[in-house]
Chains A and B, each alone.
Chain A
Amino acid sequence: GENVEQHPSTLSVQEGDSAVIKCTYSDSASNYFPWYKQELGKRPQLIIDIRSNVGEKKDQRIAVTLNKTAKHFSLHITETQPEDSAVYFCAASINDYKLSFGAGTTVTVRA
């Protein structure tokens, strides 16, 4: 099955700086790549996703890039704020609904 690796496992950034999380996937047939954010004590929620026919997608301060050749995709958060502190999960899917998740990245934004 699909194997998704996510790095780093923890990330501490100064408020206002950028944060980058990287994921690699194993199955070249994967075509859907969502990112979920889980705040402490809360449920995961989708924040952005990208499909394999697109190389980059942006939504305000967050952006995702996809490199199909290298089989990796990244989440970029600019101008980080305290409310960005959370665990972020990347995922990959072959068939649009069965997701394989990465292990998660705990992001801490220092004031």
Chain B
Amino acid sequence: DVKVTQSSRYLVKRTGEKVFLECVQDMDHENMFWYRQDPGLGLRLIYFSYDVKMKEKGDIPEGYSVSREKKERFSLILESASTNQTSMYLCASSLREPTNNEQFFGPGTRLTVL
């Protein structure tokens, strides 16, 4: 059973703070993803990683960075949090196999920036 866990379910931060969101998966998946989910906008890809130390920008990378030092862990970093980054953040992972690439999601972190 695939497990994707995220470090916090709820997080409240102040404008300008540096924020770390952690994601861990236990199925040896090559691909990992960070999305933000906002009402009426669906799931928007921030960054993804297809291997350790590899990363690619998604559709909305501005204001975010990521780190993948180990295969099982993918971190999202908000260098200087702003109120427009208040959102639900979802992590996901998948295999790299073209015919078996279902994305498994974590429970989400609801971030509020005051």
Q: How far is the CA of A37 from the CA of B112 in the complex (A)?
A: 25
Does A81 make an interface contact (CB < 8 A)? no
Q: How many residues of B contact A (CB 8 A)?
A: 25
Stretch at the interface among B13-21, B39-47, B63-71, B75-83: B39-47
Contact indicator B43/A101 (Cβ below 8 Å): yes
Interface: A99 (CB within 8 A)? yes
Within 8 A of A (CB), among B26-73: 31, 35, 40-45, 48, 50, 56, 58-59
Asked if residues A6 and B59 are in contact (CB atoms below 8 Å), the reply is: no
> Which of chain B's residues has its CB closest to A104's CB?
B42
Complex contact B40–A96 (CB within 8 A): no
> Closest B-chain residue to A93, C-beta based?
B101
Q: A89–B102 contact, CB under 8 A?
A: no
In contact, A97 and B90 (Cβ under 8 angstroms): no
Contact size range, A = 20 to 34
The answer for the CA separation of A104 and B64 in the assembled complex, in Å, is 24
A1 surroundings in chain B (CB, below 8 A): 59
Question: 1/0 per residue B79-109: CB within 8 Å of A?
Answer: 0000000000010001010100111011110
Complex contact A44–B44 (CB within 8 A): no
Identify which of B48, B98, B105, B108 contacts A98 (C-beta below 8 A).
Answer: B48
Q: Which residues of B contact A (CB under 8 A)?
A: 4, 31, 35, 40-45, 48, 50, 56, 58-59, 90, 94, 96, 98, 101-103, 105-108
